[in-house]
Amino acid sequence: MEAPKVIKGVSQPPNVNLSSVRKLRKKRQELSVETFVEGILKGDRVRLGQAITLIESTKSSHQAKAQAIINTCLPHTGKSFRLGITGSPGVGKSTFIESYGQHIIQQGHQVAVLAVDPSSQISQGSILGDKTRMFNLSTHPKAFIRPSPAGESLGGVARKTRETIMLCEAAGYDFIIIETVGVGQSEIAVHSMVDFFLLLLLPGAGDELQGIKKGIVEMADLIAINKADGKNATKAKQSRREYGSALHIMPPKSSGWTPTATVCAGLSGMGIPDIWDIQQQYQTKMTDNGFFKNNRQNQSQYWLHETIQNQLKQLFYENEAVKNVLKEKENAILKGELSPFKGAEELMDLFLKNNQ
Ligand code: GDP
């Protein structure tokens, strides 16, 4: 067979040497904790991105390094406003964040956009995976966008996002947006890591039609009826009144904040400054009454216990001795030969004896 000819005048693709790419990647991961921290504190986005990759890695050496980086960055974390945004797919979250993110930057802030999207495990693509959806924001030097870590359980995704928030704060991002899809448990996880929770809804359709659970409406600090433009404008105003009344009869929040409903259109930017004002009022009120600080402390405590529980669970189910007999015990329980409680006790004993 003839060897491929080099055609004169046509530039040839560069020679990609796979082993040198691997070496380069390895070298990056071998950077010291100090180098990572120094880069992050200087706002170096490349170092920040690499450190987040360590957070997302399942390798224990990467995990250990990520933890050391986070811990060293700790004094530089916490100085941001954390906003959670939820709503069903198609409600206009990305478009809204594209507008709102730019508005936040105009107010003198630096914004990081993260996501909690455990479904990316199945769909292979995260809600933020397609950066063209937030083109202006993703190319802005004062914005940092990172899709949801893939291939993880909700617990894993949430913990990694929580850790990523801290690194973004250390890198100077003083406004963090966390996006999630309004379809399940992920709202609870996001609610437990943010200061303010915004629920986006469509004009007209009721909660059930939008797949929104009552609990999620109760978590919201503000409801924004999005896409309130064109022929939707009247319907949106009516929805605002309905949600406004519904919010009014809800039990008061421990923060002392009374959630309201408003209208907006992420596409045109209509209502965006109003949402910013409401959020500013919230921040002032919650700082003055001490809720902001208390809530952050409660959240840290929650994450301590949440992480311990997740890690214990993982250790238990990955233990070889447990794995060997788990099915057997399950069968014995199904046949009525063993009670679930005795079964659990035997498995726990086995785990404790065989965990180093
Ligand atoms: P997401 O799935 O919640 O992130 O929704 P997207 O931001 O991707 O928006 C879904 C669709 O709604 C897209 O076709 C957008 O162009 C459209 N859309 C988003 N915001 C608005 C808006 O304010 N008004 C109108 N009319 N359409 C919008």
Q: Find the helix packing angle between 33-41 and 60-73, rounded to 10°.
A: 50
Q: How far is the CA of 227 from the centre of ligand 1 (A)?
A: 7
Q: How far is it, in rounded angstroms, from Cα 52 to Cα 29?
A: 11
Q: How confident is the model at residue 126 (pLDDT cuts 50, 70, 90)?
A: low
Sign of the alpha-carbon torsion through 184, 188, 194, 198: positive
Q: Are the C-beta atoms of residues 118 and 152 closer than 8 Å to each other?
A: yes
Q: Would you place residue 2 in the very low, low, confident or very high pLDDT band (cuts 50, 70, 90)?
A: very low
In a domain, 18, yes or no: no
Q: Are strands 111-116 and 260-263 parallel, antiparallel or unpaired?
A: unpaired
Choose the final residue of a domain: 238, 267, 289.
289
Instruction: Find the mean pLDDT for residues 69-87.
Output: 95
- Write the CATH number for 266: 3.40.50.300
Ligand 1 centre and the CA of 110: distance in Å? 24
Per residue in 8-17, pLDDT tens?
Answer: 554 555 555 6
pLDDT at 124 over 60: no
User: Which of 208, 201, 211, 227 has the alpha carbon at shortest distance from 85?
Assistant: 201
Q: Does residue 21 lie within any of the structural domains?
A: no
User: What residues pair up with 262 in beta bridges, in sequence order?
Assistant: 224
Cα of 267 from ligand 1 centre, angstroms: 7
Nearest protein CA to atom 26 of ligand 1, as residue: 227
Atom of ligand 1 nearest to the CA of 97: 7
What is the tens place of the pLDDT at every residue in 260-270? 999 999 999 99
Instruction: Check whether 67 has a pLDDT greater than 50.
Output: yes
Give the lowest-confidence range in 20-34, 80-94, 144-158, 163-177.
Answer: 20-34
37, with CB counted inside 10 A (0-12, 13-18, 19+), is: buried
* pTM for the structure as a whole: 0.85
- Do both 200 and 334 map to the same domain? no
Distance of CA 202 from the midpoint of ligand 1 (Å): 10
Q: How many domains does the chain divide into?
A: 3
CATH, residue 66: 1.20.5
Measured from CB, residues less than 6 Å from any atom of ligand 1 are 87, 89-95, 133, 226-227, 229, 265-267
Boundary residue ending a domain (246, 269, 289) = 289
258 domain residue, yes or no? yes
What is the per-residue pLDDT across 150-192, written as a single tens digit (0 to 9) for each? 767 788 888 999 999 999 999 999 999 999 976 678 888 899 9
DSSP 270: B
Q: Indicate which residue's Cα is closest to atom 27 of ligand 1.
A: 227
The rounded mean pLDDT for the chain is 87
- Residue 98 pLDDT greater than 80, yes or no: yes
Q: Could you tell which of 99, 202, 267 is best to mutate to test the pocket of ligand 1, judged by most ligand atoms within 8 Å of the CB?
A: 267
pLDDT tier at 247, thresholds 50, 70, 90: confident
Question: pLDDT tens across 303-351, in order?
Answer: 999 889 988 998 999 999 999 999 999 999 999 999 999 999 999 999 9
Torsion from C-alpha of 251, 257, 260, 265, nearest 10 degrees: -140
pLDDT > 50? residue 127? yes
